[in-house]
Structure 1
Amino acid sequence: MSLDLKALNQHLSTRSYVEGYTPSQADVGVYTSVGSAPDAGQYPHAARWYKHIASYAQEHETLPGDKEASLKLFAAGASGAAAPAAAAEEEEDIDLFGSDDEEDPEAEAEKQRRLDEYNEKKKNKVKPVAKVRLNVDPDF
């Protein structure tokens, strides 16, 4: 299987590994498919990654993961949309702050009622008289 080194280099421009944050079988699978170190001038990120994964040669068999899964991303015949589609599948749309696009009409009415009450209280509140500071002679 031939790998698209340009796609691999682009992928590795923002990552240290093919998948995840540690070396895995995905890296080993791509590493063996590349065969030899890519040209560092043309593919600097892929060359850096290749050298790094080569340093794990003793541990290749014990690394976790699936070798075949990542090879589909960088196959020479794969369409350019395959990598972004795979990345989109990985990224889930999780709303950590609980914002909701759909507003509850009852909640909106309650919010408006409270806002009106607050504005009414603020309007009726007596404002304090300005304080005046006199300059008093300390020797007096």
Structure 2
Amino acid sequence: MAFGDVKTAKGLQELNNFLAENSYISGYTPSKADLSVFEALGKSPSDFANIARWYRHIASFSTQERSKWTGSALPQVSGGTTTVSASKADDDDVDLFGSDEEDDAEAERIKAERVKAYSEKKSKKPALIAKSSILLDCKPWDDETDMKEMERLVRTIEMDGLLWGVSKLVPLAYGINKLQICCVIEDDKVSVDELQEKITEFEDYVQSVDIAAFNKI
């Protein structure tokens, strides 16, 4: 196997084929031969996987490290002349750096680990509890209804996820007041309809219950 002018498509294809079976241009370690081809290329050709792999490897060395490489630079890496002979190319070689397939597999493994770690971290976060703030209007039968007792009875209602808040008396008409009382509920635990039914069970005091305001928190 041999390759010629690395400035041509034919030469690049030949070099790509050569690097499919060889880790370096000459021998088993990087040398000035690698450096001369590296400099002749100028950049990694994206369409040739083996050259790209080799180019990344050579580029990983610093300028100072490359200056210490031994061997001989290739006399010509462009112009159509065969650069590497078949006798050198056929030497048994060991790939000292991973293939693109190995790089892709490692990248996929790392990605999968990160996704798993993120999912586990997200699952440990406490779930948000949906809550609502409700303002209820509790209307009495007449002006003789004991409104303080009505409020006391309403506040005796206890449900998991129910928290009573402030209250006040609001005039209706003819001296009649209604009890306006606020509460906060957890949506998954408290049914508003059930809460209204429980309040109207105090039928000696409560004529009706209406929702004056309903807001999600």
TM-score (norm 1): 0.51
Query: Using the alignment, how far apart are the partners of 2:30 and 2:36 within structure 1?
Result: 11
Q: Over aligned residue pairs, what C-alpha RMSD do you find?
A: 2.5
Are residues 1:21 and 2:28 paired?
A: yes
TM-score (norm 2): 0.34
C-alpha contact (below 8 Å) 2:18/2:89 kept by paired residues = no
Which residue in 1 is equivalent to 2:74? Answer: 68
Note the C-alpha offset of 1:78: 2.9
Q: Deviations over 1:80-99 (max 9, x none)?
A: xx75xx2237779xxxxxxx
Say which structure is richer in helix. 1
Query: Using the alignment, how far apart are the partners of 1:8 and 1:28 within structure 2?
Result: 14
Query: Using the alignment, how far apart are the partners of 1:91 and 1:16 within structure 2?
Result: 12
Q: Unpaired runs of 5+ in structure 2?
A: 92-217
Which residue in 2 is equivalent to 1:57? Answer: 62
Work out the percentage of aligned pairs sharing the same amino acid. 34
Q: Deviations over 1:56-109 (max 9, x none)?
A: 13311110111124x45xx35236xx75xx2237779xxxxxxxxxxxxxxxxx
C-alpha contact (below 8 Å) 2:19/2:50 kept by paired residues = yes
Query: Using the alignment, how far apart are the partners of 2:56 and 2:39 within structure 1?
Result: 12
Runs of 4+ in 1 over 4 A off after TM superposition: 89-92
Find the residue that maps to 2:80 and give its secondary structure: coil
Larger RCO (alpha carbons 8 Å, 6+ apart): 1
Say which structure is richer in strand. 2
Larger Rg: 2
Q: Unpaired runs of 5+ in structure 1?
A: 93-140
Query: Which letter maps to 2:56?
Result: K
Alignment length, in residue pairs? Answer: 82
